[in-house]
């Protein structure tokens, strides 16, 4: 979006956000203080507490038709058979038929975090590093910062006495970090009800590519997750007694997993690359101006181990080519020390990140065929099975549509720079659900930076990204409302 655009008179709004900065930081601090870890059953009451915290915030800001949507009991595997899923929080701000309606999605659950994991400060006690302008805490960037950002936008409008340029519908869930259980069904059910007049969906649950230049994201890879199960003896055995005289499941599994991907990251399963969409000239040009370097990749990885040495190759392999990663082996000895056990059953986990135009069902067939053939070559007496655990399709949008152009104007207005148009290597499955069920465009409008450490220790959000992010979210609503 480099051609000149007509700037909207948003300075009073931006100034108000600056004035409210202390209050906005305090709001985020309160949100971070609630350890809403969805994967920890013992913390489920805290996830529910976070939902009620949001309801309180929405009520104080003048939202109407606020609903807590009950999703029922969590399906197995669970320790507590009666474990209830956390509710989805819905709310409206404005119902003017003359205005467009934007649905904003975010999640209020977070990844697990303990100080003992290596955090410099307590993960659920927000640490404000004033010298460097950084807010540390679990959920600061993923996704409590952006969720609070939308609330801050409303508060700034109210303080100014400005009308919101669009009708806003919020949809906040509490299971995003645990597979978004129940969300797809809710969106489908509410498509013609609560979400009936939605014109556009905006998601702020991703990040800039680097640390200095804002981006807008128009594509995501999908993810198919598989497991390989190899079962042998009836119980774990002593290698001094049974080593060399029984077929060991771990040996079979390691041999099979070694056939999936080579040391250069190339997938070894025949037929996968044949499905990948060819690179067009127009798509290739989008890589020209993107601000990224091998140094940034190495800094983010914490090592000098990049497989590609130039920007274009790195980004294409992260965004538009598939990848296969080996994640772990369940049932194997993984503690410290030297335990001489032969595991009786091992489960190898791996995933494939999918891209246009990979057909998921065809991919499953190729994966199963390859692994079954490799196991057959071993002539092993062990029991063997390969299965799909879950899948999520890739998503790609048109970076030249109305939503993206409005977001580009807002970003340029706030940051004084034309944003990069990027794709992401990760997955946000709900993007596809909203697009399919509501039949509208989805925009990914990130707040945080590429070095925020979303699922890592010392997760952070720069104050400048939090405050300018609020300006960008609000600015987007104005430019989109006028488009």
Output the known binding site for Mn(2+). Answer: 107, 142, 177, 205, 455
CA nearest to 168, candidates 189, 185, 152, 154 = 154
CA–CA gap between residue 328 and residue 323 (Å, rounded) = 16
H helix and E strand count, the chain: 14, 18
Kind plus residue range of the DSSP H or E element containing 203: strand 200-203
109, 143, 190, 452: which is the annotated catalytic residue?
A: 109
143, 155, 176, 424: which is the annotated catalytic residue?
A: 176
Active site residue 176: yes
Contact predicate 56/126, CB 8 Å? no
CA–CA gap between residue 216 and residue 422 (Å, rounded) = 6
Q: How many CA atoms lie within 13 A of 207 on its CB side?
A: 24
Contact predicate 342/236, CB 8 Å? yes
Contact predicate 218/444, CB 8 Å? yes
CA–CA gap between residue 444 and residue 220 (Å, rounded) = 10
Task: List all residues 6 or more positions away from 407 whose beta carbon is below 8 Å from its beta carbon.
Answer: 216, 419, 443, 445, 472, 476, 479, 480
CB atoms within 10 A of CB 288: 8
Active site residue 402: no
Phi, psi (degrees; rounded to nearest 5) at 152: -60, -40
Residue numbering of the annotated binding site:
107, 142, 177, 205, 238, 340, 353, 427, 455
CA–CA gap between residue 322 and residue 355 (Å, rounded) = 6
Annotated active-site positions, please?
A: 109, 176
């Amino acid at each position: 979006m480099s051609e000149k655009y007509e700037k909207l008179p948003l300075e009073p709004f931006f100034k108000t956000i600056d004035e409210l900065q202390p209050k906005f930081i305090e709001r985020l601090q309160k949100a971070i203080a609630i350890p809403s870890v969805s994967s920890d059953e013992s913390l489920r009451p805290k996830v529910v507490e976070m939902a009620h915290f949001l309801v309180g915030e929405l009520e104080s800001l003048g939202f109407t038709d606020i609903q807590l949507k009950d999703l029922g009991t969590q399906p197995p595997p669970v320790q507590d058979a009666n474990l209830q899923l956390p509710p989805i929080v819905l709310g409206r701000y404005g119902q003017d038929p003359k205005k467009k309606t934007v649905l904003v999605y975010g999640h209020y659950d977070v990844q697990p975090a303990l100080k003992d994991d290596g955090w410099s400060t307590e993960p659920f006690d927000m640490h404000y590093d004033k010298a460097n302008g950084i807010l540390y805490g679990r959920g600061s960037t993923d996704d409590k910062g952006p969720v609070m950002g939308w609330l801050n936008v409303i508060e700034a409008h109210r303080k100014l006495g400005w009308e919101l340029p669009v009708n806003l519908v919020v949809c906040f869930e509490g299971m995003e970090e645990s597979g978004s259980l129940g969300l797809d069904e809710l969106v489908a059910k509410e498509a013609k009800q609560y979400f009936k007049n939605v014109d556009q969906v905006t998601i702020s649950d991703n990040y800039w590519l680097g640390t200095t230049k804002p981006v807008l994201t128009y594509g995501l890879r999908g993810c198919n997750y598989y497991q390989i199960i190899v079962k042998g003896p009836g119980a774990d055995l002593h290698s001094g007694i049974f080593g060399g005289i029984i077929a060991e499941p771990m040996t079979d599994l390691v041999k099979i997993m070694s056939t999936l991907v080579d040391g250069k990251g190339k997938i070894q399963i025949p037929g996968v690359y044949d499905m990948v969409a060819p690179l067009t000239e127009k798509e290739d040009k989008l890589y020209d101006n993107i601000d990224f370097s091998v140094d940034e990749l190495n800094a983010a990885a914490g090592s000098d181990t990049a497989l590609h040495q130039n920007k274009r190759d790195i980004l294409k392999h992260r965004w538009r080519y598939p990848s296969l990663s080996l994640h772990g082996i369940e049932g194997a000895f993984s503690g410290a020390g030297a335990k001489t056990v032969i595991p009786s059953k091992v489960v190898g986990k791996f995933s494939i990140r999918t891209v246009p135009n990979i057909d998921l069902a065809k991919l499953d067939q190729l994966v199963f065929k390859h692994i079954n053939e490799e196991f057959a070559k071993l002539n092993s007496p062990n029991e063997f099975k390969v299965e799909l655990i879950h899948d999520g399709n890739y998503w790609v949008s048109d970076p030249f549509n109305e939503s993206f152009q409005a977001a580009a104007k807002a970003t340029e207005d706030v940051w004084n720079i034309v944003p990069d148009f990027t794709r992401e290597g990760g997955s946000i499955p709900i993007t596809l659900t909203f697009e399919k069920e509501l039949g509208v465009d989805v925009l990914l409008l990130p707040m945080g930076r590429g070095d925020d450490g979303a699922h890592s220790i010392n997760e952070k959000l720069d104050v400048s990204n939090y405050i300018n992010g609020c300006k960008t979210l609000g600015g987007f609503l104005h430019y989109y409302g006028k488009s």
